Structure 1
Amino acid sequence: MRVMSLTIGPAFTIPGYKDMAPPDYTTECDATVYAADGVVGHAAFWWHYLSGPVGAYPESEAAFEVQAADYNAMGAVLDDPERWPAISVRLDGEAWLRIVYRNIEDEAGLDFVEQRPGRPAEVVTSVEGHGFTSAMTWAELLAAAALPDERLAWAQRLVLMLPMLGPQELSEDAEEILHRALEGIGARNRSALAAALLDRLDWRTN
């Protein structure tokens, strides 16, 4: 079986989003990340994303038909310590949300970085193991997902920003909305996965 082709790059910096510079790693500099927007077109990415940052495993595994080789290839890209992948989500105006896989040994995590013109970047959410900070209400998530975007579909935007949710009461139709978003990214067993996502988010945020 042919393994999927993954292209990562080009490299760019996010002004104000910091890393330690080589060779001595004692000086702070703007972190170099690599554009990885193309990964959202692969089922293997969504399996990784929903079982990792949100923790809906094993439901996410059952939701996508992914060969083991493709799953491993995606993991190698997402966990690469030399080339931190970043997925960019357009917000309002010239603002961006950069979802960065911060692949530092023993300090790895997923950073949600808000980048606005004329301001230093701000890490508004970080997911590290079972720890995280929250940055969005359910209503804000729905509004952000609905913003115009020529690069990402509504379903992709909503699921990508899902880990940013904080503790809160969700609307009565939250499971239905998640079901529709999961359909949009090609998930099967959507009812089970939507229920698992809501359960994991509730457990994680309380």
Structure 2
Amino acid sequence: MIPGYEADPLTEADEYLERPLFWLCHLSSLLQDEEAQELAFGADWEAAGELGDELRSTSRWPVFTVPVGNECVIHVVYRNFEGDMGIDYLLHDPAAHEALRLVSDEGSFMGPGLSWRELDTAAADARTLLLLLPMLGDADLPPDATTRVAEALAELTWIEEPATVAELMLAGQGQWGPANWRERDGVWICDGAYSYRCPHNEFSFDPERLAKVSAALDGR
């Protein structure tokens, strides 16, 4: 049970992770570039559209869960309200019965939710890397970031030019773009104008929650 979503038709949906087309649907907000879209979807536009409709069913909200630090998890929830659809990325602390929304990937977007360093820590395999990739916003990517994403795309999708698609996705980094991260008093924060982890934003998490999120994602 996810706090705040108790009345919603949540459904564990790990079976989708086996389907190459799922990843194209899931990463669609990162495929803003026309070239990236053509390379990613190719002749699969129609099939991807049908799968997208299935993922957005109002009667069944797919949920995926990734363990992180401090006994917390990240839930990826396809929030399928009629007229208010998006993907929520929530840090859930079962002990505190609290789920903090780190990212909303939708028209009225909020993010980024994590840095590359934090993504790398949480990503135990190709699946978790791509599942959490839409949360990313980082202006200081390491030299191997594109290779890591390309390898995951090659493993899980049918994309013929995964390196090119990975490069294009990481260049734009979705709707909010790259952000700068720094450590302040042991807590990692960013300067993203739409991020809950930027303390200068009016809607930012309070200091206690900023510290909680940072500790759960830090991995040190």
TM-score w.r.t. structure 2 length?
Answer: 0.69
Counterpart position of 1:100: 77
Counterpart position of 1:127: 105
Counterpart position of 2:31: 55
Counterpart position of 2:150: 179
Is 2:84 the partner of 1:142? Answer: no
Counterpart position of 2:186: none
Aligned length: 175
Structure ranking higher in helix proportion: 2
Counterpart position of 2:210: none
Q: Tell me if the contact between 1:101 and 1:109 (Cα under 8 Å) persists in the aligned partners.
A: yes
Q: What SS does structure 2 have at the residue aligned with 1:132?
A: coil
C-alpha deviation, 1:144, in angstroms: 0.7
Question: One-letter code of the match for 2:78?
Answer: Y
Alpha-carbon displacement from aligned partner over 1:10-33 (angstroms, at most 9, x marks no partner): xxx31x224xxxxxxxxxx55331
Question: One-letter code of the match for 1:55?
Answer: L
Alpha-carbon displacement from aligned partner over 1:29-88 (angstroms, at most 9, x marks no partner): 55331111111111111121122x323455355336775664344122211012111122
Question: Relative contact order (alpha carbons < 8 A, sep ≥ 6): 1 or 2 greater?
Answer: 2
Unaligned ranges ≥5, structure 2: 179-220
Q: Tell me if the contact between 1:50 and 1:57 (Cα under 8 Å) persists in the aligned partners.
A: no
For residues 8-47 of structure 1, the aligned pairs below 5 Å read 13-14=1-2, 16-18=3-5, 30-47=7-24
Q: What SS does structure 2 have at the residue aligned with 1:87?
A: strand
Change (3 A) 1:203 1:76: closer
Counterpart position of 1:4: none
Q: What SS does structure 1 have at the residue aligned with 2:171?
A: helix
Question: One-letter code of the match for 1:102?
Answer: R
TM-score w.r.t. structure 1 length?
Answer: 0.73
Higher mean Cα deviation, 88-97 or 168-177?
88-97
The percent of aligned pairs where both chains have the same amino acid is 29
